[in-house]
Amino acid sequence: MKFEKSQKLYEKGLVNLVGAVNSPVRAFSSVGGNPLFIKKAKGSKIVDVDDNEYVDLVVSYGPMILGHRHKAVEKAAKKALKKGYSFGASTEAEIKLAKIVCDAFPEMDKVRFVNSGTEAVLSGIRLARAFTGKDKIIKFSGCYHGHQDALLVAAGSGLATLSLPGSKGVPEGAVKNTLIAEYNNLESVKAHFETHDDIAGVIIEPIGGNMGVVIPQNNFLKELKEFLETKGALLIADEVMTGFRSMFGGAQEVLGVTADITCLGKVIGGGFPVGAYGARNEIMEQVSPLGGMYQAGTLSGNPIAMAGGIATLTELKRQNPYQKFEEVGQILETILLAAAKKHNVDLVVNRFGSMMNPFFTKSKVTNFEEAQTSDTKKFAVFFWEMIKNGVFLPPSQFEAWFLNSALSDKDIKKISIAVDKSMLAVSKMK
């Protein structure tokens, strides 16, 4: 397999793009080598500029749940495109998509569309502060909620301390109201409430998808919500990644918990830039023009994105692929574990519906600290062998793999062969 054209584009891109990319994970920094440049995709396949074809387990980090260029989504987008690209005014499509989304989340009365998951989370946190009149927010180590200043933080010297900036350019003042807790550790949340009386809420990925698919243990989410209710604080669910992935609705329903504010993105746009945040009426009525919390956006509710979202969710409801996702996910988990055992490679697989991730570690992974026990050098070897054998993966140990409904039995067979060869390569590492 050759990557000559990708290499040339990478060198050309270095001139006017930062690192030749527009998002850091695309730079392949954690796996070595240079990024691949993609020219087209269809169904379950993606093709790079060197005409190498891959079974795609990235699917744009989640949104292409129906596969690439699904005919219903493409038809809807083309139809909308002919009517205009952006109006700076309201359209009927916004109302249609809002109803579909709200109907899928039992406690969501109203929703506000924005342009990205980052923007949805930023707005959701502002809303929690507006509703409660309090300033501090608790987040969990290893959960990523977009690149806004207030959430780009590291844990600092301890779980019960204020956070330190996790990126250059983020002033200490921007994170002074952000507190860090440990995922799956309710006591770490309670400790903050013992020392702070101005906590507006807790934000969490119901499934930790940015530390490699980490699942809540022992009713953690239920007990967290119950505790927050006793403190008058809100639970903010970042379902940008999990929304409509494990069922037609959110992971909250699967896990038996209801958030006060839900943030969405990815699938609800069908591949077009979109985000959303929603809640019950008394909370959403804080948002302008009904209330005093200001949030606006020129391209919010863009007609092309709304059309793509309506078509995607309509088709998703018609297909109802969730049982198939569970079956395919189980097959791939078995393939990974069997290949690891065959080649004497330490491996743990975490999976939730159509999201999964293998960790090259002996340890159970239930939080970010445990996820970091994974051998990233082994993952890098595994990643490139999978690429060479025609399977496109996220170029990071800590990014989730995503299934799509276009995956075929032939694709699964190809993945199985690639996994066996890749585990063999890992087993030969010195």
At 271 the pLDDT is 95
Structure token digits, residue 390: 């025609």
At 154 the pLDDT is 55
Measured CA to CA, the distance from residue 111 to residue 116 in angstroms comes to 14
At 108 the pLDDT is 97
Residue 158, pLDDT above cutoff 70: no
> Taking residues 28-42, what's their average pLDDT?
95
Closest CA to 279 of 250, 255, 316: 250
Same fold, 4-65+321-427 and 71-319: no
Residue 266 among the catalytic residues: yes
Structure token digits, residue 167: 């990126």
For 63-107, the DSSP string reads T-TT-BT-HHHHHHHHHHHTT-S--SS--HHHHHHHHHHHHHSTT
Query: Considering 54, 61, 144, 277, which one is annotated as catalytic?
Result: 144
At 162 the pLDDT is 40
Measured CA to CA, the distance from residue 250 to residue 104 in angstroms comes to 8
> Taking residues 242-259, what's their average pLDDT?
95
Query: Considering 266, 322, 375, 411, which one is annotated as catalytic?
Result: 266
Band (pLDDT 50/70/90 cuts) for residue 165 is low
Instruction: Quick: pLDDT tens for 253-265.
Output: 999 999 999 999 9
Measured CA to CA, the distance from residue 188 to residue 198 in angstroms comes to 17
Measured CA to CA, the distance from residue 158 to residue 160 in angstroms comes to 6
Helix, strand, coil percentages in the chain from 3-state DSSP, rounded to 5: 40, 15, 40
At 171 the pLDDT is 79
- What's CA 87's distance to the chain center, in Å? 29
Say if CB 133 and CB 205 are below 8 A apart: no
Say if CB 221 and CB 250 are below 8 A apart: no
Residue 164, pLDDT above cutoff 70: no
Domain boundaries, the chain: 4-65+321-427, 71-319
Cis check for the bond before 289: say yes or no (omega within 30 of 0). Answer: yes
Query: Considering 238, 260, 375, 411, which one is annotated as catalytic?
Result: 238
Say if CB 34 and CB 28 are below 8 A apart: yes
The structure's pTM equals: 0.94
Say if CB 153 and CB 163 are below 8 A apart: yes
Instruction: Quick: pLDDT tens for 219-239.
Output: 999 999 999 999 999 999 999
Question: CATH code for 71-319?
Answer: 3.40.640.10
Which of 68-82, 157-171, 264-278 shows the lowest per-residue confidence on average (mean pLDDT)? Answer: 157-171
Residue 156, pLDDT above cutoff 60: no
> Taking residues 377-397, what's their average pLDDT?
97
Instruction: Quick: pLDDT tens for 132-141.
Output: 999 999 999 8
Instruction: Quick: pLDDT tens for 315-354.
Output: 999 999 999 999 999 999 999 999 999 999 999 999 998 9
> Taking residues 158-179, what's their average pLDDT?
67
- What is 4-65+321-427's CATH number, 3.90.1150.10, 3.30.67.10, 3.40.50.2000, 3.50.50.60? 3.90.1150.10
Say if CB 277 and CB 124 are below 8 A apart: yes
Residue 238 among the catalytic residues: yes
Residue 50 among the catalytic residues: no
User: Burial of 127 by CB count in 10 Å (0-12 exposed, 13-18 middle, 19+ buried)?
Assistant: buried
Q: Across all residues in the chain, what is the average pLDDT?
A: 94
Residue 24, pLDDT above cutoff 90: no
Residue 160, pLDDT above cutoff 50: no
